[in-house]
């Protein structure tokens, strides 16, 4: 087996491992509120999320194309060098994912991956499409959490007004059932968004090795199925650490607020994936929506200290993953022949 083929296989395998870590890292985002309000048991919630993550991954490829186009100019370097760039970006993203998972911090797998790509691109002298980074990453990174917070706040205010004279126990019972639908919608959106990012990286590796044309916008079927399967298996593995943070530590949600947060987050994910073609963070959107729904109880009910630590992790994710990716590239650049 020649070095290029070996690097392709290793890069694709690590990309799928990243997708797997994304599944268990971000599974909690889609189901934490449903579990915390006892709308679903953890086992049923994880199984539902795993199935719908798989289905969601089959619904589109626009986000994958955006990820694929962040780094350009692979045609000016050797295949081995280009593959080292992609591999290093993945290692940076996975490392940050594992660190934040260990400490139970709901950071963004999406921005870890993008940070890894940017960091390695700068270290390796690869062209970074900064216009695309600004339009498809930076702006949506700010806008999507704001939409999540404000949308969930307004949805919850509407629910409070519509059901202001209803029996609270009946309302809670009804929305506990409704959360099954909203959690399912959010799981579908998570698959639609996050599995596509891995698809984009795998295609980037295929372009780097000469197995796919940079001008070809189609995503091979085997790439779609492999990414869908990996994120689904990762979701089945759990994510209880982050689930506790999302479900209880930010604010103890009741079923109506859980429904408001989940339904709003799902809508934002669909709009960003299908309309804006932007790889936004499920974590950012859902966490913001939880805070927005919780703030309708009273602003002091939200544990802003926990929220502050989460926001800090958001801010650190891009540069941290970029730094790890750049360091990995520096090491692999020396170790792999042909670089």
DSSP per position, 31-46: HHHHHHTTSS-HHHHH
Residue the block writes with tokens 């009741």: 254
Q: What is the mean pLDDT of each run of 10 residues along the chain (339 residues)?
A: 82 90 71 74 81 90 88 79 88 81 72 89 87 88 90 96 91 89 89 89 88 84 94 77 51 82 94 90 84 81 65 78 88 74
Distance CA 31, CA 51 (A): 13
Mention every residue, 6+ apart, whose C-beta is less than 8 A from residue 304: none
For position 3, what pLDDT does the model report?
Answer: 78
Distance CA 267, CA 189 (A): 8
Length of the chain in residues, anyone? 339
Distance CA 217, CA 212 (A): 10
Q: What is the pLDDT of residues 157-199, one digit of tens each?
A: 999 999 988 998 999 889 988 988 998 898 899 889 888 889 9
Q: What is the pLDDT of residues 65-98, one digit of tens each?
A: 888 888 887 767 788 888 888 888 888 888 877 7
For position 240, what pLDDT does the model report?
Answer: 56
Distance CA 101, CA 311 (A): 15
Q: Beta partners for 127?
A: 72
Distance CA 25, CA 241 (A): 9
For position 331, what pLDDT does the model report?
Answer: 87
The radius of gyration computed from the CA coordinates of the chain, to the nearest angstrom, equals 20
Distance CA 158, CA 169 (A): 18
For position 55, what pLDDT does the model report?
Answer: 93
Residue the block writes with tokens 């991954």: 57
* pTM across the whole model: 0.85
281 phi, psi to nearest 5 deg: -90, 120
Please work out, in degrees rounded to the nearest 5, the angle formed at the alpha carbon of residue 140 by the alpha carbons of 59 and 318. Answer: 100
């Amino acid at each position: 087996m020649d070095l290029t083929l070996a690097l392709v296989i290793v890069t694709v395998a690590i990309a799928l491992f990243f997708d797997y870590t994304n599944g268990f890292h971000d599974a909690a985002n889609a189901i934490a509120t449903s579990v915390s309000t006892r709308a679903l048991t953890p086992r049923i919630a994880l199984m539902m999320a795993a199935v719908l993550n798989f289905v969601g991954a089959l619904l589109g490829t626009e986000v994958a194309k955006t990820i694929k186009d962040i780094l350009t100019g692979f045609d000016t370097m050797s295949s081995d060098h280009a593959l080292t760039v992609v591999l290093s970006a993945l290692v940076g993203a996975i490392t940050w994912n594992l660190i934040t998972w260990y400490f139970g911090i709901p950071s963004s797998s999406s921005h870890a991956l993008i940070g890894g790509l940017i960091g390695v691109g700068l270290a390796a002298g690869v062209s970074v499409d900064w216009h695309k980074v600004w339009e498809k990453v930076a702006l949506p990174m700010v806008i999507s959490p704001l939409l999540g917070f404000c949308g969930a706040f307004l949805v919850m205010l509407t629910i409070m007004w519509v059901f202001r004279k209803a029996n609270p126990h009946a309302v809670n019972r009804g929305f506990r059932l409704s959360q099954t639908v909203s959690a399912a919608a959010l799981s579908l959106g998570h698959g639609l968004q996050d599995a596509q990012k891995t698809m984009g990286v795998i295609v980037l590796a295929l372009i780097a090795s000469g197995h796919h044309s940079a001008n070809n916008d189609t995503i091979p079927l085997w790439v779609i199925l492999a990414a869908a399967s990996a994120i689904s298996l990762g979701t089945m593995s759990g994510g209880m650490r982050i689930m506790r943070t999302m479900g209880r530590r930010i604010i103890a949600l009741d079923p109506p607020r859980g429904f408001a947060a989940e339904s709003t987050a799902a809508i934002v994910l669909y709009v960003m994936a299908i309309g804006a073609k932007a790889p936004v963070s499920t974590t950012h959107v859902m966490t913001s929506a939880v805070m927005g729904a919780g703030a309708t109880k009273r602003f002091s009910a939200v544990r802003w200290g926990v929220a502050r630590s989460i926001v800090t992790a958001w801010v650190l994710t891009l540069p941290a993953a970029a730094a790890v990716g750049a360091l990995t590239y520096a090491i692999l650049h020396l170790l792999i022949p042909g670089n």
